């Protein structure tokens, strides 16, 4: 999410190339995390695979649309996204708890075997959960894929909203599952960018190698880094970049 603004605003790269390079960064992040942690008990593979039908289709549509719209619209959308993310991060800083679990099993979710369970390390308990509103979640996932393909982002926040807010899946399995989905979603739009010439290796390769190296180090220090501190560092940066990109969309450069 931070890569496109840095490449365009700070380094002056045309946004189409920045988006393609950034989607490679998303894949590197997702694959890097998978190999660093090897496996994740929180993950719900069925939810991931089922909802990926929505995200991958969205991502393809997004990648095609990006090639057709003028770049100031892309700046505008990206700026709006960053401002939204800033708001979302501030909301998390203030504090957010798990949504109330679905009280009755959903027929479609049961048929699709989407209900799962995970081991909560904090309470040391196996938690069973059910999910609900599958069509709503799928629709949101299509939107998340669209945003991912259009703007070269992982759209993790949108995916978590789809699972946790709409489908009432607990937050921990939601974010673990969204990490897995990010890579597959990004692969869909990345192949479009790869073959249509938007992917520039001299930009994407150093990015990908840096991220994979960082993921290995990050997985060692992340558990001891307080998330709250990270958010407090990132909120002003992302907020500032969002405003700057919005202005760029309107033709103003600071």
Binding site for other proteins (CB under 8 A): 17, 24, 27-28, 30-32, 34-35, 37-40, 43, 45-46, 49-50, 52-53, 56-57, 59-60, 63-64, 112-113, 117, 180, 183-184, 186-197, 199-202, 204-206, 208-209, 212
Beta strands in the chain (DSSP E): 116-120, 125-129
CB of 188 to other proteins, least distance (A): 4
Beta strands in 73-231 (DSSP E): 116-120, 125-129
Backbone angles phi, psi at 62, to 5 degrees: -60, -45
CB of 169 to other proteins, least distance (A): 17
CB of 225 to other proteins, least distance (A): 23
CB of 236 to other proteins, least distance (A): 32
Smaller CB separation from other proteins, 145 or 170: 145
Smaller CB separation from other proteins, 30 or 85: 30
Smaller CB separation from other proteins, 76 or 142: 142
CB of 16 to other proteins, least distance (A): 10
- Rounded to an integer, what distance in angstroms lies between the CA atom of residue 73 and that of residue 18? 15
Smaller CB separation from other proteins, 197 or 236: 197
Can you give 58-72 as a three-state secondary structure string?
Answer: HHHHHHHHHCCCCHH
CB of 65 to other proteins, least distance (A): 12
The sign of the torsion formed by the CA atoms of 203, 204, 205, 207 equals positive
Backbone angles phi, psi at 128, to 5 degrees: -90, 140
Smaller CB separation from other proteins, 86 or 115: 115
Smaller CB separation from other proteins, 212 or 243: 212
Residue 240: how many other CB atoms lie within 10 Å? 15
Are the CB atoms for 191 and 172 separated by under 8 Å?
no
């Amino acid at each position: 999410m931070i890569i496109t603004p840095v490449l365009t605003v700070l380094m002056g790269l045309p946004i189409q190339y920045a988006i393609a390079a950034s989607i490679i960064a998303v894949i590197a992040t997702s694959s890097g995390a998978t190999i660093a942690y090897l496996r994740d008990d929180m993950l719900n593979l069925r939810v991931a695979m089922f909802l990926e039908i929505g995200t991958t289709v969205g991502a393809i549509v997004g990648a095609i649309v990006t090639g057709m719209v003028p770049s100031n619209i892309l700046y505008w959308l990206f700026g709006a996204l960053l401002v939204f993310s800033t708001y979302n991060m501030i909301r998390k800083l203030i504090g957010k708890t798990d949504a109330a679990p679905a009280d009755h099993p959903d027929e479609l979710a049961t048929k699709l075997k989407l209900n799962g369970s995970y081991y909560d390390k904090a309470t040391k308990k196996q938690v069973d959960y059910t999910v609900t509103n599958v069509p709503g979640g799928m629709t949101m996932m299509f939107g998340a894929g669209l945003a991912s393909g259009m703007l070269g982002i992982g759209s993790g926040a949108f995916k978590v909203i789809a699972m946790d807010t709409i489908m009432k899946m607990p937050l921990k399995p939601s974010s673990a599952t969204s990490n897995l989905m990010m890579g597959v979603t990004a692969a869909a739009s990345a192949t479009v960018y790869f073959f249509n010439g938007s992917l520039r290796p001299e930009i994407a390769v150093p990015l990908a190698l840096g991220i994979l190296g960082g993921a290995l180090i990050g997985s060692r220090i992340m558990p001891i880094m307080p998330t709250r501190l990270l958010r407090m560092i990132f909120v002003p940066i992302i907020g500032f970049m969002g405003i700057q990109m919005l202005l760029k969309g309107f033709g103003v450069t600071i």
